[in-house]
Structure 1
Amino acid sequence: MRTKFELSLDDAKRIAAAAAQEARSNGWSVVIAIVDDGGTLVYLERIDGTQPASSDIAQHKARAAALFRRPTKTLEEIIAGGRVAMLSLPHITPVEGGEPLVYRGEIVGAIGVSGVQSFQDGQVARAGAQALADT
């Protein structure tokens, strides 16, 4: 048996707040999704003015980052490098903006962001992930 850390709702809100602060400081409207280590939604925040599709996209990015245990940018790079067979895998979302959430060396969930260009989504997601890493 092993003991593991679990992401709480308060953790998810703190992570989302850091991500939202990064987005707002740049004038970006985004959706921020926080999932647990199994990819299940814990918290979703949609900044006013964000396109409706971003709610689903952010969740998919977060789920992919949690289940594959790596940033979705890494998945994007693998496919861009020619490994297109990865596109057939379940839960893959190979677009930057999903980041695993790491606490004391363990992945406890992930954050997904959608609403602006993917590299900007990634910037916002990393700001949220850093809020947890700093605790």
Structure 2
Amino acid sequence: MATGSWMRKETPWSLIQQYVQLTNEELKHIFINSSLIFRVKTCNDANFRLGRSGPDTVVIGGKRNTKMWINGCEINHAHGILSCTEFRSFWFTFKNSTISVGRGEKVGERGLMNCSIRGNKAFGMYITTFIKNPGTWLFRKRTG
């Protein structure tokens, strides 16, 4: 299914929200030109958090797969954006304190959200699929 080179991560089924860290070494291989491309298969809540603590920074398919938002910005309707049975593709950029998210595997095309954020100088990235909801993530690796 996944052509090319992809890094796989799993977020577990759990009674409490658990975060899986993308290590600095992993980020070196998947974060390219301030962007990453990923595929995710989960029923709802494909979430990113920048930094070790605080609220989720980016939520895709939150509120039972009906909404998406970047923390501190407006909430967008996104009914059925994620799937329990098939991978869905997205891109994510973080540049000049602005986060952008879109659908597909071409960064900059099919944009869904864009928001300037403050206070995220210490960069760390964590993923979660919230409570009682496992997920499989594929992150495109740098080529060459």
Q: TM-score range by the shorter chain?
A: under 0.3
| Bigger strand share | 2
| Bigger helix share | 1
Give the TM-score, by structure 1 length: 0.28
Which structure's relative contact order is higher, taking Cα pairs within 8 Å and 6+ residues apart?
Answer: 2
Give the TM-score, by structure 2 length: 0.27
